[in-house]
Amino acid sequence: KTAWLEPEDAWKLEPRITRDLFGAVLVEDVIMLDSYNLTLATAQAAEALGVEIVLAEATEIHYEKDRVVGVRVGQNRIDCDALVLALGPWSGAAGVWLDVDIPIVPQKGEIARVEGLDPVLGLHVHGPCSVVQKADGLTWLAATRKDNTGFDVTPSNEALETLSERGMRMLPELDSHRLVLQTACMRPVTPDGFPIIGRVPGQEGMFIATGTGGQGIVLAPAIGKAISDLVTAGETEIDIGRFGLERFA
């Protein structure tokens, strides 16, 4: 549900929004979640169903002819009938195992967390950046995007200045709020900006799911369902045809 707001209507909802405003769009029924806790809860639920999670480096894929039959993880070989490559920004390295080009590179993204607003910011404010007061009480300014940085996850002054300027342009009050934490991460991106989802051509039992950029958590339920369908039933009702790895051949 969305509605156009004149500036006066936006200021009634949140008086601290900038006066340099032409108008706003109000989007209702938005759900915000904690991606770390969601991932942790998913892992715990899987373990409760009997899944074993192994924390070690995967170093080799084993084949019989053109079919995957196992993967070496740490010092052990794990036999399998199907293998899903969901390696995020490291997906490109798997191309060496597969003898296939996987055009995934890391894109650096940074977030600044500053002291929370008082009273609490009751809206998610989006514009040049996103300004959201999270459950931890801090106000998050998100996020930058920078290519060609490799696997560098060092927070930068450049990103902090960018986020600060953009955030204060939207909510000038942020000028007086102290920085608490700045983080950097890597997002897996493809040349065309779309994810890679589906079978790996010419390699039976091999599947791939990567390249979601900054939309990984949003797309995860649909991608998980599609890959699960392919592994267990050989097909899926979710239309993933345009996202195949073969488009880069």
**CA separation for the pair 145, 147 (Å, rounded):** 7
**Tokens at residue 198, please?**
């589906």
The predicted structure's pLDDT at residue 14:
96
What is the H or E stretch that residue 180 is in?
strand 179-189
pLDDT in tens, 187-211: 999 999 999 999 999 999 999 999 9
The predicted structure's pLDDT at residue 114:
98
The predicted structure's pLDDT at residue 83:
98
pTM of the model: 0.91
Domain 106-186 has CATH 3.30.9.10: yes
The predicted structure's pLDDT at residue 33:
86
DSSP 8-state symbol, 11: H
The predicted structure's pLDDT at residue 174:
96
Give me the residues paired with residue 35 across strands.
none
Cβ neighbours for 212, distance < 8 A, ≥ 6 positions apart: 187, 188, 195, 219, 220, 223
**CA separation for the pair 135, 238 (Å, rounded):** 33
The predicted structure's pLDDT at residue 31:
84
Those residues of the chain that have pLDDT short of 50 are none
In which residue are the tokens 């995860």 written? 220
- Each domain of the chain, given as residue ranges in start order, spans 35-104+192-248, 106-186
Homologous superfamily, domain 35-104+192-248: FAD/NAD(P)-binding domain (3.50.50.60)
The predicted structure's pLDDT at residue 225:
98
